[in-house]
Structure formats: C-alpha cells, structure tokens
Amino acid sequence: MDKPLRWGILATGGIAETFTRDLQIAGLHVQAVGSRTQDSAQAFAARLGIPTAHGSYAALVADPQVDLVYIATPHPQHADAALLAIEAGKHVLVEKPFTLNAGQAVQVVARARARGVIVMEAMWTRFLPHMVRLREVIAAGTIGALRSVVAEHRQQMPTDPAHRANAPALGGGALLDLGVYPVSFAVDLLGEPVEITARARMSATGVDAEIATIMRHAHGALSTSVSALDAAGTNSAVVYGARGRIVIDPLWFTPTSFSVYNASGGCIERFEQAVPGHGMQYQAIELEALVRAGRESQRMPPTQSVQIMRVLDQMRAQIGLVYPGE
C-alpha cells in the first residue's frame, strides 16, 4: 500500500473543516466530502479544494475513491455513521466521544473487527507531541509511581438552547463535549477506574452545564476533573507522581508545553514544540499507519474507547442525564 490513502469527510461542520485543513497541511489526501445536502457538500468542497462532493453520507461511503472516513456529525449520529462506513468496507476515525453510550461503542468495535477494517476514536490530544513526550517521561520513571491526575476543561460555549452543546437531543452537556477529555486522559495514564463519583450543575435545557468527577483507579491512584460549558477556565493539568510532577500548560488538551519537576520542586525538563495548524493531523497519520500495518491502535485502542464510554455512562447515570431515545 505505497499509494496515498484517500480520506472522505463525513459532515461539514466547524470541526470537519479544521480537521480537513490540518490533513492538507500535513500533505494527506482528502478526496471527498459528504453532507446531508448537495449544496452543503459542494460549498465545503469548493472552500477547501476537495475533488468530490456527495449529497448524502451513503454516497460518500460508497465512493470507491475513498479509503478512510472521518466522522464529524453530532454525538448521537456517530454510531450510525460509523456503522454505515464500516459496512462499506471503509476504515473509520470517529470524533470523540466515540459514541453516545457504551452499547453503541461495543457494536461499532465488533462490526469493524468482523468487517476487517480499522476503527479509532479521534481523541486528538493523545497524538500530540507533548502527550507523546509526557508518556515517555512517565514510562522512564522520572516522577515515580503515579499518584493522581488533575485536569480542567472549562469553556464559554454558545448559550443558544438549540446549540448542540445545550440540546439533549444532540447529546449536549459538558461531560460528552468537554469532560471526555480529562476522563480519557485519566484512563490513558491510570487505567480504567474502579470507583466513580460525579456531581453536576444542570442547565435550563436539562443537560449538565458543569460536572465534577472523582475516580479511583488501580493501586489507589486518583483522578479529578471539572468541566463546564458556561464558564471559561485556565484549562491546565497536573500529573502527580511519588517523586515529582508534570505541569501541562494551558490549554493542556491542545498543542502546548509542559514542565517536569522533581520532589524538591526543581524543574528538570521543559518541553516545547511548535505544531503546524491545530494539530489534528497526528491522529490521521496514526490511522493511516495502522491501516498499512493492519492493526488496531495501541495509543487509542477501541477497547479503551468502550471503557471510556462505560465511565461516561456511569457518570450520566449518577447525575440523572438521559438522552432522548436511549
């Protein structure tokens, strides 16, 4: 498979445009875009110089010139779109959260394996250079055994009740849109939690405007996070170890820098690296490598995406958030 792999973009919202531009910056080949209307697809294709525009998702995944599909629909549509692409024999990168709930996640992973295609969650933060280096520092034992992870994700999002972040029918709320980042980060470093506590402040539309979480992981390690969609925050993160800590600068979930401190508080490493574009291309590069190698991701395993959805399900159950149709 020496020839370039060809991407299809499923949906035409803001995140799809950011992702597409980052792929183009990285020299990856974007072949087609699919939308629910031909006009939307054509406008997106014209704006970004994409060769083919399809007026339906079905037409996009059926395109023989497309090898991989990036899914950027609202959360409740992730599973159906992923299954549509999988049944068409396409490899799939699904925006986070992977699905709306764990049951859907299990179905998507099972169908991908049955069809012999690669599926991966687009948790782009895991693939950024600072996160790659951070895991190397931890693996080297520089800060000792991990004790806790603390992360915040607060943003001031649109207040329109119809906006996807505020609408229950679109999987709205701070947890699935923002809280998934620190939850995924904690699971990545500390493993699946054995105990979960979540408390929320609900919005007028019935979704979680703010959610605080505490999780206990194997060997007693703890993780805590606060996420909100109606109050901006510093959005920093700290990983604490027995012999030091790693302080990630704002915005910790985007391309950024970090400092490593020893137990005495001395800085023993400073990591900084410029990233072209927004940094969403790294996950696409990873998926292309996986497709060529014929194996699932170790950095964002589909089995862990299922675990994370189970965690989010438990948190939603604790705060009483149920989405229509579940």
Q: Go through the chain and tell me how many residues it has.
A: 326
Say if residue 257 is in the same domain as residue 293: no
Quote the mean pLDDT of the chain.
97
104 occurs within a structural domain: yes
Distant-in-sequence, close-in-space partners of 181: CB < 8 Å, separation ≥ 6? 96, 123, 125, 151, 153, 227, 253
Cα–Cα–Cα angle for 185, 123, 147, rounded to 5 degrees:
5
Domain span at 59: 6-124+280-300
Say if residue 22 is in the same domain as residue 74: yes
Say if residue 255 is in the same domain as residue 293: no
The pLDDT of residue 326: 86
**Is 322 in contact with 171 (CB distance < 8 Å)?**
no
Tell whether the model's pLDDT for residue 64 goes beyond 70: yes
Q: What is the CATH number of the domain that holds 197?
A: 3.30.360.10
DSSP H/E element including 199: strand 195-202
Q: Would the CA dihedral through 87, 92, 94, 99 be positive or negative?
A: positive
95 occurs within a structural domain: yes
Domain total of the chain:
2
Q: How far is CA 68 from the centre of its chain?
A: 17
Say if residue 149 is in the same domain as residue 175: yes
**Is 74 in contact with 171 (CB distance < 8 Å)?**
yes
Say if residue 138 is in the same domain as residue 228: yes
The pLDDT of residue 106: 98
Tokens of 195: 């105990």
What one-character DSSP code corresponds to residue 318?
H
73 occurs within a structural domain: yes
Mean pLDDT in residue range 268-293: 98
89 occurs within a structural domain: yes
Tell whether the model's pLDDT for residue 224 goes beyond 70: yes
Say if residue 185 is in the same domain as residue 112: no
Mean pLDDT in residue range 211-236: 97
Mean pLDDT in residue range 282-304: 98
Q: Percentage of the chain with pLDDT > 90?
A: 98
Q: pLDDT of 102-136, one tens digit each?
A: 999 999 999 999 999 999 999 999 999 999 999 99
The sheet with strand 258-262 has its strands ordered as 195-202, 208-216, 222-228, 146-154, 237-241, 244-248, 258-262, 267-271
Say if residue 117 is in the same domain as residue 159: no
The pLDDT of residue 125: 98
Nearest residue to 106 (alpha-carbon basis) of 252, 307, 246, 250: 307
Query: Number of helices and strands (H, E) in the chain?
Result: 10, 14
Say if residue 27 is in the same domain as residue 161: no
306 occurs within a structural domain: no
In the block, residue with structure tokens 């194997």:
218
Where is the domain boundary, 257, 274, 291?
Answer: 274
66 occurs within a structural domain: yes
Mean pLDDT in residue range 32-42: 98
Cis peptide before 287 (omega within 30 of 0): no
Mean pLDDT in residue range 21-40: 98
216 occurs within a structural domain: yes
Tokens of 288: 């292309």
Tell whether the model's pLDDT for residue 213 goes beyond 80: yes
Q: pLDDT of 242-264, one tens digit each?
A: 999 999 999 999 999 999 999 99
Cis peptide before 229 (omega within 30 of 0): no
Say if residue 133 is in the same domain as residue 251: yes
185 occurs within a structural domain: yes
Say if residue 62 is in the same domain as residue 171: no
Alpha helices (runs of H) in the chain, residue ranges in sequence order:
14-25, 38-48, 57-62, 78-87, 102-115, 129-139, 174, 180-190, 281-293, 302-319
The pLDDT of residue 2: 74
Q: What is the three-class DSSP state of 209?
A: strand
What one-character DSSP code corresponds to residue 3?
S
Mean pLDDT in residue range 193-199: 98
Bridge partners of residue 54, in order along the sequence: 34
Say if residue 119 is in the same domain as residue 133: no
Say if residue 133 is in the same domain as residue 267: yes
Q: What is the CATH number of the domain that holds 53?
A: 3.40.50.720
Tell whether the model's pLDDT for residue 1 goes beyond 60: no
- Cα(74)–Cα(249) distance, integer angstroms: 29
